[in-house]
Copies of this chain bind each other. A is one copy, B any other.
C-alpha cells in the first residue's frame, strides 16, 4: 500500500529536502492542493495551518505536528478520529538556554555593567548568585524536567507543579495546581511551561501575582493564556523591582498597541525560546513513519482528552 503525505508548513521546500534524506518506503509527498488535502492519509503540518482544513481531510489517519503546542487541533469542536503526534523532548535544552540566559543576565546585572562600560566606569558591585535560590516550575513534563536539571546544576532549589502532584526526577518537591498560592510567595523565580487547558487558563492573574516576592522574576514560556497579560502589565507598573520575561502570548504577534511592550521591567521576545529545528522534526517524523509501517505505537502521541 502506498501512503500519501501532505506537507503543510511555512517551510515546505526545506522539509521536502530534509525528508528526501530519510528512508520513507511507499510514501508519496504531495503539495497542499485541495486534491492533496482530500487524498492524503498522513499529514506533516503546523497546527495553525492544519486546523481550518481538518474537515476536508477525508483520508486523514495520522497527523504529525511540527510544533509542541497542538491546542488549535484539540479544541472540542474539532474531530478526533485520527492519530495526533507532536514534537517533544528536543525543547528542553533550548528552553534552558533561554531561561538561564535571561535569568543570569538579570541577576548578574548585564545592563548595569554595560552602562558603566559606556561611561568607562570601574565600579564592582555585589550581586546574588543562583546558588540557594528557589525556582518554581509550573509544569513537570520533559521541558520542565530539563529546566529543573539545569537549575539543580546551578545550585537552585526546585519545586514543580503538576496535575496530580506526582514526584518527578530533578525536582526537590512537587505539588498540585491547587497549592499554587502556597508556593508562589516562596519562589525567587517562577517559570510556566504549562500547556493551555481549562485548568491552567489565566492562573497567573491579579490575585495570584500579588503573592510574588518583591524581586521575583516571572517567565512565561509555555502558552500565553496561562497568564492574564493586562493584569500582569498593571501589576508590573506597581512593582518595579519585579521582572517578567515573556515569550508566548494569547495573540501572536503581540499587538503593537499593548502597553507591556514599553514596560521597563518586562522583556518581550517573539516566541523564540524553543523553536522546532526542522532537522529534529524530520527525525521524529521518520522514526514515527517506520513505526507506522510496522503498525507499532507512535512516539509523542497526544491524548485528546488531556490536551497534551
A132 to chain B, nearest CB (A): 10
Q: What's the Cα separation between A122 and B258 when bound, in Å?
A: 12
In the complex with contacts A104-B101, A105-B110, A93-B271 CB distance below 8 A? no
Please state if B97 and A108 are interface contacts (CB–CB under 8 Å). Answer: yes
* Stretch with Cβ within 8 A of B (4 or more), from A193-201, A232-240, A248-256: A248-256
A221 to chain B, nearest CB (A): 13
Across-interface contacts of A125 in B (CB, < 8 A): 272
Q: Please tell me if A23 contacts chain B, counting CB pairs below 8 Å.
A: no
Q: Please tell me if A28 contacts chain B, counting CB pairs below 8 Å.
A: no
Please state if A117 and B154 are interface contacts (CB–CB under 8 Å). Answer: no
Across-interface contacts of A123 in B (CB, < 8 A): 270
Q: Which residue of B has the minimal Cβ distance to A152? A: B153
* Stretch with Cβ within 8 A of B (4 or more), from A48-56, A157-165, A261-269: A261-269
Please state if A96 and B129 are interface contacts (CB–CB under 8 Å). Answer: no
Q: Which residue of B has the minimal Cβ distance to A269? A: B113
Which 4 residue pairs of A and B lie closest in terms of their CB atoms, listed nearest first? A101-B104, A122-B253, A124-B270, A120-B256
